[in-house]
Amino acid sequence: MPSEIKQLNPLMVKLFENSKEAIFFFDKEGRALAMNPAAEEIVTEDVLLKMYQGREDALCGTCRGYTSDTEQRTCLDCYLQLPESEEQTSFQVYLETKGKGVVPYAGSFHTVDPENGTRVFMLRDLTPQLRVQERLHRNNMMKHVIEAQENERKRLSRELHDSVAQELMSAVVDLRVLKYMTDDETLLKKVKQTEASMTRLMDDIRNLSVELRPASLDDFGLEAAFRSHFKRIEQSYGLVVEFQSNLDRKRYDSDIETVLYRICQEAVLNALKYAQVDVVNVRLYEEKGAIRLDVEDGGEGFEQGSDPIGTGLGLYGMRERAELAGGTLSVHSEPGQGTRVLVQIPVPCLQEGE
């Protein structure tokens, strides 16, 4: 160990040797005096040798620039060459490391011994923080995308219900009036056929409006929206959904209610399309500060690790929605043993039915 380091008290020696931050000491000429094990892990063998040999430009062999006020990476006004009065105590620098490629670090370069001109260069790996920031940015972007999708669904749903469906209803009323304005059997038959077609179209539009964004979800909450959805599923496809809930009109944050509704909608649709069953069991309940959704069928099942072909959101999308709401989603399935989808989302604040 160099004599400069031996002069430190034992605690400082331990800090120097065991610190996760890389620490380099330089003299006033820019030559390396010492470096701790974490620093030695960063630089390549040839750069390490040059630094111990006292080569002034040794660190330049591994430095790939630092972030300035005007550029993401630059070598202008090198932090190693700045006078003591202009030293940078906090900046971002990029180094070519052993086995990891170019890595971003939070750097600090300043004088610790003005009398002898000794400077310390300390580095902290920013990769974990940047990964967290990237995930946060991605999650925020996904939340904005999903929010925009739901808002657009809501707009289209209301437009279909309040405009298109109402116009069709007016046309159907006019057709019914026409039936009393003629005795022509051929014309009456045609009017009745047209009325029937428009009535079916009106029902389809209303169903589409509800599928886009059920008004009951916004007005009455999850339990009411689930019951309405399951009733439509049974009427349209014959699939019976055995539904149990203990929420009793409790309301949750709009994002949480939307996430649970969409996941349940997809899980029941997957059971309808692939499970080959007549009954699906759905439980929605609040327990230990979390709202839980349990969708289970006793159908075909599938091999764990594979995603059933043709799903809308898919298992990945369902899991991503749950995670964006701060929750978790797990899927348990075996061929011939059915599939069970479990969702759990923390809900610290609950309000009684509004």
Q: What is the pLDDT of residue 290?
A: 92
Report DSSP state, residue 251. B
Q: How far apart are CA 212 and CA 170, in angstroms?
A: 23
| Beta-strand runs (E) in the chain | 22-26, 32-35, 63-66, 91-97, 101-113, 118-125, 240-245, 279-287, 290-297, 328-334, 338-346
Flag whether pLDDT at 213 surpasses 90.
no
The residue-averaged pLDDT of 170-197 equals: 83
Range 25-49 average pLDDT: 84
Query: Hey, what CATH topology would domain 3-125 get?
Result: Beta-Lactamase (3.30.450)
Q: What confidence tens digit (pLDDT) does each residue in 12-31 have? A: 778 888 888 999 888 877 78
Query: For residue 62, what pLDDT is reported?
Result: 83
Residues 219-354, CATH architecture? 2-Layer Sandwich (3.30)
At 6 the pLDDT is 55
**What percent of the chain clears pLDDT 70, i.e. is strictly above it?**
91
Sorted by sequence, the CB contacts under 8 Å of residue 63 that are 6+ apart come out as 75, 93, 94, 95, 96
**In the numeric block, which tokens belong to residue 288?**
């230990």
pLDDT band at 305 (very low <50, low <70, confident <90, very high): low
Is a pLDDT exceeding 50 seen at residue 311? no
Whether pLDDT at 313 is above 70:
no
Region 256-280 average pLDDT: 91
pLDDT digits (tens, 9 = 90+) for 96-154: 888 788 889 988 888 888 888 888 889 999 988 888 888 888 888 877 887 888 788 88
More confident residue, 191 or 305: 191
User: What are the distances in angstroms from CA 76 to CA 64, 91, 203?
Assistant: 12, 14, 70
- In which band, very low, low, confident or very high, does the pLDDT at 279 lie, cut at 50, 70 and 90? very high
The H-or-E segment that residue 225 falls in is: helix 222-237
Q: Do domains 3-125 and 219-354 have the same CATH topology?
A: no
Q: What is residue 85's predicted lDDT score, i.e. its pLDDT?
A: 66
CA dihedral over 58, 63, 67, 72, signed as positive or negative: positive
Residue 309 has pLDDT above 60, yes or no: no
Q: What is the mean pLDDT of the chain?
A: 83
For 33-42, 322-331, 343-352, which range has the lowest pLDDT when averaged over its residues?
343-352
Tell me, what's the pLDDT at 29?
Answer: 77
Q: Give percent of the chain above pLDDT 90.
A: 18
User: Is pLDDT above 50 for 350?
Assistant: no
Strand partners, 282: 243, 295
Residue ranges covered by each domain of the chain: 3-125, 126-213, 219-354
Quote the pTM value: 0.64
Residue 158 has pLDDT above 70, yes or no: yes
Is 56 a residue whose pLDDT tops 60?
Answer: yes
